[in-house]
């Protein structure tokens, strides 16, 4: 099933708008036939991706089934054409109208048909009709239409199958026919819709009508398909900050775990489960597809503002999150969070499996820098962004081999998490992990000149596969990678890319248990604990860009060193002090909604948007007040070296939130709870 089929809505048509280089909109419909089955599908070329859906008649050898499907499609005049690729050669039929194209194809190309396709300028776009309120005689709604071409000025037509009354504050009502057809045009004070943004039209319909009475919507005289969504009454969860103080002066680490997992749930993309706990989040980015229509929905937004999905970075945080669950599972059990954290990990690994579309191809990114800039200008809810996003697929034979290494590590680590609770899923994760690792290991080794270019990711993957399977081949590989890529490297200056190497060093000492690896870990952690520059209030200031993330990662790694008997109390004290700084020892909490004096304006779209039915736009981004919703559990980037923190949504250096930020932090908190409760005895 192609990903557009997954969009909920009215009727069976699901199309996206696309533009060619001259901004002339082309949309298409068609049927594909083969010797064994008949697939009738609507086609739409949008940007870099191709989407297909309409009707699907599988398990049939009948060409008539395809003809019947075509006959169901709208008969709209346009640039229609069809082509046939038959065993005896190609037959191409062109026409000025859609019906002529159908007739030509059926008359001239019906013998030995292998494939048929029609395309036409039929103007079918995906549109959301969001119902904010509904009563016995009417409803309040908003039409959300993706803008992928030039619209100067805009025109919107709404047709009902019975008499109705409409009130709208946007645009001018220029025509009304029989109280059933309403045409609105752009007012002089309205802005022109920008390309790659969403057009909003808010209205109230009355006169004993329901949303189902809308039979047609046209935008700039082109019909659009309507997907209906109904906004539930909100009970914002949670709406109050979480108290983490205890009677004995320590922190309630179990409550912090609860909060951090909630943050992960707030950053989910795709179709959300019915039991979602963040009521102000809804389904989003259901148009995420690969170059050939592969389903790339789901996964996590890598941060709260760009909404990008980056597989390598997703894999990095997932492996660290899984590590904490593996070693501190009893702490999650005591906190009542084990099932929730498993769900958080599965949400990530399900997406990584989707991204691994075949043995040799892997999608690294959905969204890019250009798309990020567009979104900043169109600050809106993830749920309101309807345009398709560019994707980056890598060839695992030659490109960016650190990506499959990171993905292999994450899937192998996660397989341990699910080994007992879901053996089938455990096996599936391991299968993908092995495939990705083998490709990373065997192809184009010359790319790995530095650990940060992939050598540490390759060792990271081998170690997690060793821990997941116990197979000695991975032990030999891990030792070889460790030597080949000089992963025992020591540096006084620790930076973000080097932290992955430290993770490798700790795993080597933990799994292989040889003194040579323990010595390297002790040297590295001693450097952080004794020599790292520290702020006046006690933060080990490791990296000026990633700030609290880097410190939390190091706190977790050194806690792992403590667990294997390396300077146990000293490293445990270090981790306690660094996590304590983030939770409030510094005079403020850096975790949203947790403790005292926490950040009120995290750089996050969903929580910064006003409650529906209000429109979310750049005014929400520039709003000087606190975010309307509490983004509970999000660890912000953090303060300057002077312990100064300016709570400002516009400042990514301080207020950026990211699923990466929370992974090492959450695993360190789980470890501290494990020690606090003496669960290792």
pLDDT per residue as tens digits for the range 546-588: 899 999 999 999 999 999 999 999 999 999 999 999 999 999 9
| Structure-block tokens of residue 281 | 């989040």
Which among 196, 198, 201, 207 has a CA at the least distance from the CA of 183?
Answer: 201
The percentage of the chain sitting over the pLDDT mark of 70, rounded to a whole number, equals 75
pLDDT of residue 194: 75
Domains defined for the chain, CATH in brackets: 3-119 (no CATH), 125-230 (2.60.40.290), 253-676 (1.50.10.10)
SS3 track for 246-270: CCCCCECHHHHHHHHHHHHHHCECE
Task: Please tell me the predicted confidence (pLDDT) of residue 55.
Answer: 31
User: Greater confidence, 320 or 443?
Assistant: 320
Q: Which has more pLDDT, 546 or 302?
A: 302
Confidence of residue 265 (pLDDT cuts 50, 70, 90): very high
pLDDT at residue number 400? 62
Region of poorest pLDDT, from 50-64, 92-106, 629-643: 50-64
> Residue 109: is its pLDDT beyond 80?
no
Q: Are 461 and 437 in contact (CB under 8 A)?
A: yes
pLDDT of residue 570: 98
- 405-422 pLDDT per residue, tens: 999 999 999 999 999 999
Q: Determine the pLDDT at residue 64.
A: 52
Higher pLDDT, 327 or 92: 327
The two beta strands, 125-135 and 138-147, are antiparallel
Name the band, by pLDDT with cuts 50, 70 and 90, for residue 611.
confident
The more confident residue out of 225 and 21 is 225
pLDDT band of residue 495 (cuts 50, 70, 90) is low
CB-based burial of residue 486 (10 Å sphere; 0-12 exposed, 13-18 middle, 19+ buried)?
A: exposed
Q: Which of the listed ranges 28-37, 128-137, 405-414 does the model predict with the highest average pLDDT?
A: 405-414
Q: How do residues 481-493 score in pLDDT, each as one tens digit?
A: 999 888 887 665 5
CA 355 – CA 396 distance, rounded (Å): 12
Please state, in angstroms and as integers, the Cα–Cα distance from residue 6 to each residue in 46, 109, 291, following that order. 17, 33, 17
Mean pLDDT calculated for residue range 312-316: 95
Position 545 pLDDT exceeds 90: no
Q: How many residues does the structure list for the chain?
A: 681
Cα–Cα dist 415/431, whole Å: 10
Q: 554 phi and psi, to 5 degrees?
A: -65, -35
Cβ–Cβ under 8 Å, residues 507 and 614? no
Residue 41 has pLDDT above 60, yes or no: no
Highest-confidence segment of 83-97, 139-153, 357-371, 646-660: 646-660
Instruction: Give the model's confidence band at 274: pLDDT under 50 very low, under 70 low, under 90 confident, else very high.
Output: confident
For residue 555, the 8-state DSSP code is H
Q: Please, is 307 exposed, middle or buried when counting C-beta atoms within 10 Å of its C-beta (0-12, 13-18, 19+)?
A: buried
pLDDT tens sequence across 71-92: 444 332 222 223 222 233 333 3
Q: How many CB atoms lie within 10 A of CB 497?
A: 13
Span 454-469, mean pLDDT?
94
Say what the pLDDT of residue 639 is.
Answer: 96
Kindly tell me if the per-residue pLDDT of 538 is higher than 70: yes
| Residue 287 predicted with pLDDT over 80 | yes
Percentage of the chain lying above the pLDDT 90 cut: 53
Answer whether residue 25 shows pLDDT above 60. Answer: no
Across 79-83, 347-351, 526-530, which has the greatest mean pLDDT? 347-351
Q: Which residue has the higher pLDDT, 374 or 331?
A: 331
pLDDT reading at 233 higher than 60:
no
Average pLDDT, the chain: 79
Q: What are the pLDDT digits (tens) for 150-202?
A: 656 888 999 999 999 999 888 888 889 999 999 999 887 777 777 777 888 88
Contact predicate 13/42, CB 8 Å = yes
pLDDT(389) > 60 = yes
Structure tokens at 148: 């992928």
pLDDT band of 363, cuts 50, 70, 90: very high
Residue 330: its pLDDT value, please?
95
């Amino acid at each position: 099933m192609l990903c557009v089929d997954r969009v909920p809505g009215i009727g069976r048509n699901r199309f996206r708008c696309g533009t060619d280089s001259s901004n002339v909109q082309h949309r298409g419909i068609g049927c594909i036939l083969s010797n064994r089955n008949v697939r009738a599908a609507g086609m739409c070329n949008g940007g870099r991706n191709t989407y297909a859906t309409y009707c699907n008649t599988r398990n049939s050898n009948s060409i008539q089934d395809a003809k019947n499907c075509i006959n169901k499609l709208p008969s709209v005049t346009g640039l229609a054409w069809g082509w046939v690729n038959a065993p005896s050669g190609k037959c191409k039929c062109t026409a000025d109208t859609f019906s002529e194209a159908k007739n030509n194809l059926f008359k001239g190309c019906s013998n030995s048909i292998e494939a048929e396709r029609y395309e036409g300028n039929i103007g079918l776009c995906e549109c959301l009709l969001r119902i904010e309120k509904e009563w016995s005689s009417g409803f309040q709604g908003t039409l959300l239409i993706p803008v992928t071409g030039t619209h100067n000025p805009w025109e919107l037509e709404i047709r009902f199958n019975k008499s109705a009354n409409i009130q709208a504050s946007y645009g001018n009502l220029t025509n009304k026919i029989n109280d059933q057809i309403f045409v609105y045009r752009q007012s002089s004070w309205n802005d022109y819709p920008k390309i790659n943004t969403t057009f909003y039209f808010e209205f109230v319909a009355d006169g004993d009508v329901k949303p189902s009475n809308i039979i047609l919507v046209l935008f700039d005289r082109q019909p659009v398909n309507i997907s209906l969504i109904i906004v539930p009454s909100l009970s914002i969860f949670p709406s109050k900050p979480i108290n983490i103080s205890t009677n004995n002066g320590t922190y309630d680490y179990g409550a912090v775990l609860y909060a951090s997992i909630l943050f992960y749930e707030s950053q989910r993309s795709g179709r959300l489960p019915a039991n979602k706990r963040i009521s102000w989040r809804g389904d989003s980015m259901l148009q995420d597809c690969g170059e050939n229509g592969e389903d790339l929905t789901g996964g996590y937004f890598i941060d709260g503002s760009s909404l990008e999905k980056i597989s390598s970075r997703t894999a990095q945080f997932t492996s660290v999150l899984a590590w904490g669950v593996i070693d501190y599972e009893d702490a999650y059990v005591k906190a009542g969070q084990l099932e929730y954290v498993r769900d958080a990990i599965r949400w990530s690994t399900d997406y990584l499996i989707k991204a691994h579309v075949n043995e040799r191809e892997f999608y690294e990114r959905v969204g890019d820098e250009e798309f990020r800039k567009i979104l900043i200008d169109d600050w809106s809810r993830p749920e309101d962004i309807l345009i398709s996003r560019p994707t980056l697929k890598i060839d695992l034979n030659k490109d960016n081999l650190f990506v499959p290494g990171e993905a292999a590590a994450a899937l192998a680590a996660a397989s341990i998490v699910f080994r007992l609770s879901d053996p089938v899923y455990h096996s599936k994760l391991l299968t993908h992990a092995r495939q990705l690792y083998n490709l990373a290991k065997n192809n184009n080794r010359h790319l790995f000149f530095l650990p940060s270019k992939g050598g540490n990711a390759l060792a990271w993957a081998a170690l997690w596969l060793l821990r997941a399977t116990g197979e000695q081949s991975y032990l030999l590989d891990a030792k070889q990678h460790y030597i080949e890529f000089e992963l025992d490297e020591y540096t006084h200056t620790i930076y973000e890319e080097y932290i992955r190497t430290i993770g490798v060093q700790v795993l080597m000492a933990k799994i292989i248990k040889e003194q040579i690896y323990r010595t390297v870990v002790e040297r590295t952690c001693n450097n952080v604990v004794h020599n790292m520059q520290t702020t006046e209030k006690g933060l080990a200031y490791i990296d000026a860009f990633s700030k609290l993330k880097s410190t939390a990662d190091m706190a977790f790694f050194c806690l792992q060193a403590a667990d294997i008997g390396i300077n146990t109390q000293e490293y445990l004290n270090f981790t306690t002090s660094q996590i304590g700084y983030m939770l409030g020892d510094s005079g403020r909490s850096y975790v949203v909604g947790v403790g005292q004096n926490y950040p009120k304006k995290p750089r996050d779209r969903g929580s910064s948007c006003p409650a529906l039915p209000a429109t979310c736009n750049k005014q929400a981004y520039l709003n000087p007040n606190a975010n309307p919703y509490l983004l509970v559990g999000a660890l912000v980037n953090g303060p300057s070296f002077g312990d100064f923190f300016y709570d400002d949504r516009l400042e990514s250096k301080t207020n950026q939130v990211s699923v990466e930020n929370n992974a090492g932090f959450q695993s360190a908190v789980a470890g501290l709870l494990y020690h606090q409760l003496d669960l290792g005895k």
